[in-house]
């Protein structure tokens, strides 16, 4: 039976500030995969150093011509890549392009979708054209002049300054007055050459996972994010400074509306695998819930305490079966 198992590469690491977060996701995924069905390996990608990490601490270099490696004198070829790089190059289409070139199936959406969802400003403006509600925003490129008064006049205060292309809230600042814009921009430009200044949405933050296969759609229960920090920053996400409530405390009508929007956005993007969509639920003048899309994560965190595993458990599903669904959908 050993030879009939698919060889799965959990591709992690990457070149961004999220490298270590990605390694934690890889360990989570390794523990979740069905080892009776798959031979699972962790592949750490950083710059041009690509290697397999074995449990005994040994490593084996990846041959980039065909994404294979040598082990015990034999060449091992992969059947599938589960990409859990958060940031460059696994979340922006670069890794996907490589796998397309060598015809290796992978877990995420394709090159175009990954590149677009990685750029928050581009994504927001694309989805706005389909009637998805998003906050107003301004794009600044490194070296461009800007007018603090005009920014405040258009977006109001507070607002958020964030790298246009990055995740895990690295480089993100909540700006409460115009005087704080310049230092916030300096921090954001340390992470990206393009920075988005985004209007503040007041409301409840939630996050919802979804995946679809050829024969089914699984919209997971949403998670409500409650933090005493200024926003859902790195410490809140990874150092426990947050309360996560799954399922989120939404009315039945709002929960259905969010789930429908999550499914619709998945289809608009022609997404693949598990994605997670973050929302702010605000109120209109009459006090009705309004669903605002915040951002989309196409390689969501997969540690035991991450949103997706939480939501899978809340749905009464087994993460092992979910991962098998996603892999087998490509064959």
Domains for the chain: give ranges and CATH numbers: 2-107 (3.40.50.20), 115-133+202-328 (3.30.470.20), 137-199 (3.30.1490.20)
CA separation for the pair 104, 65 (Å, rounded):
12
The per-residue pLDDT for range 57-108, each reduced to its tens digit, is 999 999 999 999 999 999 999 999 999 999 889 999 999 999 999 999 999 9
pLDDT number for residue 317: 98
CA separation for the pair 97, 111 (Å, rounded):
6
Q: Tell me: pLDDT of 233 over 90.
A: no
Average pLDDT for 218-238 = 73
Average pLDDT for 157-166 = 87
Looking at the chain, the whole-number percentage of residues with pLDDT higher than 70 is 94
Q: Tell me: pLDDT of 17 over 70.
A: yes
Lowest mean pLDDT among 33-42, 108-117, 221-230: 221-230
Q: E-assigned strands of 14-144? A: 38-46, 49-53, 59-61, 69-71, 74-76, 80-83, 137-141
pLDDT band per the 50, 70, 90 thresholds, residue 168 = very low
Q: Tell me: pLDDT of 234 over 90.
A: no
Angle at 209 between CA 205 and CA 213, to 5 degrees: 160
Distances in whole angstroms, Cα of residue 287 to Cα of each of 199, 281, 311? 20, 11, 28
Lowest mean pLDDT among 36-40, 240-244, 287-291: 240-244
How much is the mean pLDDT over the chain? 92
Average pLDDT for 167-189 = 85
Q: Tell me: pLDDT of 238 over 60.
A: no
CA separation for the pair 233, 239 (Å, rounded):
10
* For residue 112, cis peptide bond before it (omega within 30 degrees of 0): no
Backbone angles phi, psi at 4, to 5 degrees: -90, -10
- 143: closest CA among 197, 194, 179, 196? 194
The per-residue pLDDT for range 295-323, each reduced to its tens digit, is 999 999 999 889 999 999 999 999 999 99
Lowest mean pLDDT among 111-115, 121-125, 236-240, 327-331: 236-240
| Helix, strand, coil percent content, the chain, rounded in steps of 5 | 30, 30, 40
Q: Tell me: pLDDT of 1 over 50.
A: no
* DSSP output for 205-238: EEEEEEEE-SS-EEEPPPEEEE-SSSSS-HHHHH
Q: Tell me: pLDDT of 253 over 60.
A: yes
CA separation for the pair 139, 304 (Å, rounded):
35
Q: What is the DSSP letter of 177?
A: S
Number of C-alpha atoms within 13 angstroms, CB side, residue 318?
Answer: 8
């Amino acid at each position: 039976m050993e030879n009939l198992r698919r060889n799965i590469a959990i591709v992690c690491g990457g070149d961004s500030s999220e490298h270590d977060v990605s390694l934690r996701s890889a360990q989570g995924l390794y523990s979740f995969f069905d080892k009776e069905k798959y031979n699972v390996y962790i592949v750490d990608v950083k710059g041009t150093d690509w290697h397999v990490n074995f449990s005994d601490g040994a490593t084996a270099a990846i041959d980039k011509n065909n994404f294979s490696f040598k082990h015990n004198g034999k060449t091992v070829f992969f059947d599938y890549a589960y990409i859990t790089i958060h940031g460059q190059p696994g979340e922006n289409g670069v890794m996907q392009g490589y796998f397309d070139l060598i015809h290796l199936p992978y877990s995420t959406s394709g090159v175009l979708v990954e590149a677009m969802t990685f750029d928050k400003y581009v994504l927001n403006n694309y989805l706005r054209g389909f009637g998805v509600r998003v906050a107003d925003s301004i794009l600044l490129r490194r070296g461009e002049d800007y007018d603090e008064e005009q920014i405040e006049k258009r977006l109001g205060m507070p607002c958020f300054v964030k790298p246009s292309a990055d995740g895990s809230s690295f480089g993100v600042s909540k700006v409460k007055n115009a005087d704080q814009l310049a230092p916030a921009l300096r921090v954001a430009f340390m992470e990206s050459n393009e920075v988005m200044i985004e209007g503040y949405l007041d409301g409840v933050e939630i996050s919802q996972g979804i995946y679809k296969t050829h024969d089914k759609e699984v919209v997971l229960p949403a998670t409500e994010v409650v933090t005493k920090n200024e926003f859902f920053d790195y410490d809140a996400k990874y150092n426990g400074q947050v309360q996560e409530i799954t399922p989120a405390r939404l009315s039945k009508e709002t929960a259905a509306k969010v789930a429908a929007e999550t499914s619709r956005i998945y289809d608009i993007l022609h997404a693949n695998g598990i994605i997670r969509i973050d929302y702010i639920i605000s109120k209109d003048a009459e006090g009705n819930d309004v669903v605002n899309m915040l951002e989309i994560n196409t390689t969501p965190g997969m540690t035991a305490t991450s949103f997706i595993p939480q939501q899978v458990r809340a749905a009464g599903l087994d993460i092992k079966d979910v991962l098998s669904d996603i892999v087998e959908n490509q064959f």
